[in-house]
């Protein structure tokens, strides 16, 4: 039979538009092929710096995301009971008037009675600013339940972090360790990088209880027990210290290894750095006297104990560090059983790290100048790189584990050197970053700073006179002091309980808080629908915006339908989550790629209201959330959203992107500012968006060649960074092995300083605010009887789907439309289980019943499943008998939002990061069934949804 003739170059459409993908958070450049105004094909943009033409399955399935039947079409007003999913369609005028009334009345009463929380959106530079203008402290995005441990651990140690803040040196690394990396974070850039590494023969080691995704192509998989990565890192540090394989020169040049720490147990200055009268840190010079730690001409000593000029005693940081990690409790033999990693393997990995770092340095023939003005002829680096993600972060010991990894990197001299982890502009930033969270209101009602910021000491906390939390989510309280991304996972319970205060309006944007973004899912649904004795909902008003009919829609009183990512403007901004790589700063836009004739602005300025980019096509009447937010802000009279004459300052989000200045000359986009030739800083340029479109939707600028490495102390880089508006001053960033910030909290807990924790919090703060990284048993494992719950349970992100977004996508559903509980064959044999058997999975919180599959890619004491496949019946406009709801399931039903034996959130005690992966379970064989359990009433079936179909009134155990 003759093969058909294929015309491979045949155009698939009549037009190609270039924008930015939003099928996951990598933000690749895409070329969208259109035919007669409809999308025909999406391909990667070869010129784009993020993906260089590569497109993943998710990205190409963006067509089906755009044409999804699950799209919301029209504003909705609840008519039934909350949770039933009964709505009537209303016009935007009515929807916006109602939302403005609720928000305006609430602001008048008390701005903090608005809780404004967003999910995995990419417009926090706007939403945080809007919350500041509104005046509520109760704002955050999804970071608290994603990877704030990673971000805070990095920012409080390195002034940068993994993923969006840094990356491995793909060009030169010879040894890469991936720690708990989920496939979707990051996606195409890591695939490109791994391809580069593998092509050069570099070794890739994956540390993860489950071998999937990138771990599958790693040269070695270390199937570690969940929550023990910190112990493993300490054992590696122990071995390196014992073998004298640390880069002392690097430590003294770039870290606080030689800074003197006062030793005055019980004193108010114990554990603080010794400083001179001007506050400059001191070291001990070999000449036998104190010197300036950051001075030139000193030769610092890093071990020993010294008497300071004021008579106090002090030791260098390195001395404390070596004492702690050389302790036999961190020897490989001591940790091997707990980690599930043989001691010999730990010793071998330590040797391999040392060999890669010290036997094969990378030398780049590029002179550079440090911040003292000293010229170095070459750039010499340690080709060991780490990348880490949620797997190590989503534990109650995650903050210290992330710091432990950074300590390990620093001891190897492997931060921002050739071959190692590298900062991406605008990082590094000062440690901690300068901006503190807003606490008080100005005369115009706005907060004095954005609600999210960085805590420098106890005085920055948001607590009342009794030391109790001020924020609804309890972030920045003594319970979770460094909760720099907020704590979305505590908001629904606390809003229901009125802790610390009741709210009037809960305003959520693409945060699926009644399903896969919630712990304790069944109770969360009850809190959302619970009424007080007066018959009114305990959470009085819920406004929800999303593009799709997620499980959360049924719980809203007012639904504001968002556009798809191909229908609106977005700024992928350096003020938010950057898309830079280590060698260039970059940002990008999204813009409407569909027929402009059916999209446009409504509410002309003459109508006295801000415009909102609207989409009216195929019976849909939707608006971009960001434009709606600006519109609402103008309607309720937020000062920064109005001009002097009282008319809206911004017509819509596109107008805001171009014209808003965060500081003089600094806006959301860095490219083509001023007269179109300025980059980084410059006045607003009305043609800016056109320049981006002409350039394929993105902008980038190279880091100067002499500034590519050692960015924390590289004069060329820091001056360039300052010139671009990324940092205020071109000053070196001293990397913090030892955190004085943490020690300040410990001292407060010991009764020192003007701001101290309440008595009930003192012991906890003192224990977990150790200035050097510690390891402790994850809380759930420490508080339940582990013989009753002997297994750990974790989720993995499917490489083919992102969060919950993919499993309503017709193409991606064909890859999988259900999940199984995966367990090791040995574990299955112990329980008499085979493929497709049904199992009860019990935690201290509840029970689910699901089907299992055997998989050798998992540590034997751990079970796992894909995240976010399981759907509630009727949600996402899937058929009520769709496999996602009948066979698919969520582990979330098993995860408590509070600890088993304490009233604290199931979270890290330093940052408040949700401890999803601390979950402990038991499995037992179950009778074969038809559906996974629990099942809930279909969300649009008109039945109160908090009644599970098969478990009676509640599936929570008494
Ligand atoms: S990696 Fe993410 S952003 Fe890139 S193409 Fe895939 S889904 Fe889109």
Give me the residues paired with residue 370 across strands: 714
Within 665-749, where are the H helices? 688-694, 715-723, 740-749
Mutate to test the pocket of ligand 1, among 55, 698, 809 (most ligand atoms within 8 A of CB): 55
Q: Whose alpha carbon is nearest atom 8 of ligand 1?
A: 59
pLDDT value for 601: 42
Tell me what percent of the residues of the chain surpass a pLDDT of 90: 88
Distance 51 CA to ligand 1 centre (A): 8
Atom of ligand 1 nearest to the CA of 24: 2
Q: Model confidence at 618, in pLDDT bands (50, 70, 90)?
A: low
The CA distance from 353 to 176, in Å, is: 9
pLDDT value for 182: 76
Q: How far is CA 89 from CA 601, 692, 730, in A?
A: 21, 37, 55
Relative to beta strand 15-20, strand 175-179 is: unpaired
The CA distance from 459 to 741, in Å, is: 11
**pLDDT, tens digit, 9 for 90 and up, residues 395-423:** 999 999 999 999 999 999 999 999 999 99
951 or 452, higher pLDDT: 452
The CA distance from 545 to 735, in Å, is: 41
Q: Tell me the range of 36-45, 144-153, 241-250 where mean pLDDT is highest.
A: 241-250
Mutate to test the pocket of ligand 1, among 26, 590, 798 (most ligand atoms within 8 A of CB): 26
**609: pLDDT strictly greater than 60:** no
Choose among 15, 25, 61: nearest CA to 594: 15
Q: Ligand 1: list residues with CB < 6 Å.
A: 21, 23-24, 26-28, 51, 55-56, 58-59, 187-188
Compute how many other C-beta atoms are within 10 angstroms of the C-beta atom of residue 312.
Answer: 16
Average confidence (pLDDT) over 29-53: 95
Distance 28 CA to ligand 1 centre (A): 5
**19: pLDDT strictly greater than 80:** yes
Average confidence (pLDDT) over 791-802: 90
The per-residue pLDDT of the chain, averaged, comes to: 93
pLDDT value for 194: 95
In 382-478, beta strands by DSSP E? 384-388, 421-423
Q: Whose alpha carbon is nearest atom 2 of ligand 1?
A: 24
Distance 592 CA to ligand 1 centre (A): 18
Helix (H, G, I), strand (E, B) or coil at 905: strand
Choose among 729, 700, 728, 705: nearest CA to 716: 705
**pLDDT, tens digit, 9 for 90 and up, residues 461-520:** 999 999 999 999 999 999 999 999 999 999 999 999 999 999 999 999 999 999 999 999
Distance 59 CA to ligand 1 centre (A): 5
pLDDT value for 599: 45
Mutate to test the pocket of ligand 1, among 18, 22, 23, 572 (most ligand atoms within 8 A of CB): 23
Distance 703 CA to ligand 1 centre (A): 25
Average confidence (pLDDT) over 301-308: 98
pLDDT value for 759: 98
pLDDT value for 807: 82
pLDDT value for 110: 98
Question: Could you tell me the sign of the dihedral formed by the alpha carbons of 439, 455, 746, 490, in that order?
Answer: positive
pTM confidence score: 0.95
Q: Model confidence at 75, in pLDDT bands (50, 70, 90)?
A: very high
Distance 365 CA to ligand 1 centre (A): 35
Determine which helix (DSSP H) or strand (DSSP E) holds 508, and give its type and residue range. Answer: strand 505-509
**733: pLDDT strictly greater than 60:** yes
**pLDDT, tens digit, 9 for 90 and up, residues 339-361:** 999 999 999 999 999 999 999 99
Distance 21 CA to ligand 1 centre (A): 6
Q: Model confidence at 613, in pLDDT bands (50, 70, 90)?
A: low
**861: pLDDT strictly greater than 60:** yes
**8: pLDDT strictly greater than 90:** no
**224: pLDDT strictly greater than 80:** yes
pLDDT value for 949: 36
**pLDDT, tens digit, 9 for 90 and up, residues 660-697:** 999 999 999 999 999 999 999 999 999 999 999 999 99
Find the radius of gyration of the CA atoms of the chain: 27
Distance 189 CA to ligand 1 centre (A): 9
**943: pLDDT strictly greater than 60:** no
DSSP string, 84-148: S--EEE--HHHHHHHHHHHHHHHHHH-GGGEEEEE-S-S-HHHHHHHHHHHT-S-EE-GGGGTTH
**363: pLDDT strictly greater than 80:** yes
163: which residues sit within 8 A by CB, 6+ positions away?
147, 150, 185, 186, 387, 389
The CA distance from 66 to 21, in Å, is: 12
Choose among 321, 144, 166, 164: nearest CA to 733: 166
């Amino acid at each position: 039979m003759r093969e058909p003739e294929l015309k491979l170059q045949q155009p698939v459409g009549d037009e190609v538009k270039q924008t930015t993908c939003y099928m996951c958070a990598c933000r690749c450049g895409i070329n969208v092929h259109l035919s007669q105004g409809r999308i025909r094909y999406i391909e990667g943009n070869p010129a784009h710096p993020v993906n260089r033409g590569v497109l993943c399955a998710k990205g190409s399935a963006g067509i089906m995301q755009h044409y999804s039947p699950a799209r919301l079409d029209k504003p909705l007003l609840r008519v039934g009971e909350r949770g039933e999913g009964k709505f009537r369609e209303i016009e935007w005028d009515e929807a916006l008037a109602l939302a403005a009334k609720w928000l305006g009345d609430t602001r008048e009463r008390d701005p903090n009675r608005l809780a404004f929380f967003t999910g995995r959106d990419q417009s926090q530079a706007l939403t945080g600013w809007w919350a500041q203008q509104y005046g509520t402290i109760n704002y955050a995005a999804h970071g608290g339940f994603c990877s704030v441990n990673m971000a805070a651990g990095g920012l409080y140690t390195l002034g940068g972090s993994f993923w969006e803040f840094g990356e491995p040196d793909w060009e030169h690394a010879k040894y890469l360790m991936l720690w708990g990396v989920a496939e979707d974070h990051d996606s195409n850039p890591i695939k490109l990088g791994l391809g580069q590494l593998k092509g050069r023969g570099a070794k890739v080691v994956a540390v993860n209880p489950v071998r999937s995704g990138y771990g599958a192509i790693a040269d070695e998989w270390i199937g570690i027990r969940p929550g023990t990565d910190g112990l493993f890192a300490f054992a590696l540090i122990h071995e390196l210290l014992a073998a004298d394989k640390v880069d002392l020169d690097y430590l003294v040049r770039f870290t606080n290894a030689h800074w003197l720490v006062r030793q005055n147990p019980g004193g108010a200055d114990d554990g603080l750095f010794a400083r001179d009268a001007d506050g400059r840190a001191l070291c001990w010079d070999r000449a036998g006297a104190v010197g300036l730690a950051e001075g030139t001409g000193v030769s610092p000593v890093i071990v020993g104990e010294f008497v300071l000029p004021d008579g106090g005693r002090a030791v260098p940081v390195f001395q404390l560090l070596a004492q702690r990690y050389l302790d036999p409790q961190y020897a490989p033999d001591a940790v091997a059983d707990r980690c599930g990693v043989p001691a010999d393997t730990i010793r071998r990995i330590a040797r391999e790290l040392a060999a890669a770092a010290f036997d094969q340095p990378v030398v780049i023939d590029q002179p550079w100048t440090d911040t003292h003005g000293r010229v170095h002829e070459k750039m010499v680096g340690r080709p060991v790189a780490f990348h880490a993600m949620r797997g190590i972060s989503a534990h109650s010991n995650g903050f210290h584990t992330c710091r432990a990894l950074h300590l390990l990197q620093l001891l190897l001299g492997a931060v921002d050197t050739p071959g190692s982890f590298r900062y991406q502009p605008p990082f590094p930033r000062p440690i901690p970053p300068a901006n503190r969270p807003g606490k008080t209101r100005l005369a115009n009602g706005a907060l004095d700073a954005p609600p999210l910021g960085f805590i420098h000491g106890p005085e920055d906390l948001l607590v009342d006179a009794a030391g109790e939390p001020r924020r609804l989510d309890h972030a920045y309280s003594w319970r979770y002091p460094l909760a720099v991304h907020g704590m979305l996972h505590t908001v629904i319970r606390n809003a229901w309980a009125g802790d610390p205060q009741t709210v009037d309006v809960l305003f959520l944007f693409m945060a699926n808080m009644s399903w896969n973004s919630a712990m304790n899912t069944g109770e969360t649904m009850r809190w959302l629908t619970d009424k007080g004795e007066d018959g009114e909902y305990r959470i009085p008003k819920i406004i929800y915006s999303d593009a799709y009919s997620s499980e959360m829609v049924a719980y809203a009183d007012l639904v504001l339908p968002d556009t798809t990512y191909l229908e609106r403007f977005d700024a992928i901004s350096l003020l938010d989550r950057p898309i830079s790589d280590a060698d260039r700063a970059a940002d990008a836009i999204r813009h409407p790629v569909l027929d402009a004739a059916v999209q446009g602005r409504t509410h002309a300025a003459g109508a006295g209201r801000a415009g909102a980019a609207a989409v009216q096509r195929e019976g849909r009447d939707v608006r971009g959330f960001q434009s709606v937010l600006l519109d609402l802000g103008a309607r309720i009279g937020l000062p920064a959203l109005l001009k002097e004459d009282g008319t809206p300052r911004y017509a819509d989000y596109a107008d805001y992107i171009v014209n808003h200045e965060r500081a003089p000359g600094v806006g959301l986009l860095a490219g083509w500012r001023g007269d179109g030739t300025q980059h980084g800083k410059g006045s607003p340029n009305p043609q800016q968006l056109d320049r981006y479109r002409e350039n394929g939707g993105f902008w980038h600028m190279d880091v100067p060649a002499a500034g590519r490495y050692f960015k924390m102390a590289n004069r060329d880089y820091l001056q360039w960074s300052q010139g671009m508006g990324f940092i205020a001053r071109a000053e070196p960033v001293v990397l913090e092995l030892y955190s004085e910030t943490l020690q300040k909290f410990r001292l407060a807990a010991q009764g020192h300083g003007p701001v101290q924790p309440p008595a009930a919090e003192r012991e906890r703060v003192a224990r977990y605010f150790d200035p050097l990284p510690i390891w402790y048993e994850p809380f759930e494992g420490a508080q339940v009887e582990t013989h009753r719950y002997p297994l750990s349970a974790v989720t993995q992100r499917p490489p083919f789907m992102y969060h919950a977004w993919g499993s309503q996508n017709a193409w991606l559903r064909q890859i999988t439309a259900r999940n199984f509980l995966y367990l090791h064959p040995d574990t299955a044999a112990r329980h008499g289980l085979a493929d497709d058997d049904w199992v009860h999975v019990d935690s201290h919180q509840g029970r689910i019943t699901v089907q299992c599959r055997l998989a050798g890619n998992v540590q034997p004491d751990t079970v796992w499943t894909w995240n976010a496949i399981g759907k509630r019946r009727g949600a996402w406009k899937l058929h009520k008998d769709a496999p996602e709801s009948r066979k698919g399931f969520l582990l979330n039903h098993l995860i408590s939002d509070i600890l088993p034996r304490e009233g604290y959130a199931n979270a890290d005690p330093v940052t408040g990061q949700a401890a999803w992966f601390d979950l402990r379970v038991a499995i037992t064989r179950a009778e074969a069934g038809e559906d996974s359990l629990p099942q809930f009433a279909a969300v649009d079936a008109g039945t109160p949804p908090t009644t599970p179909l098969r478990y009676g009134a509640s599936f929570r155990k008494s």
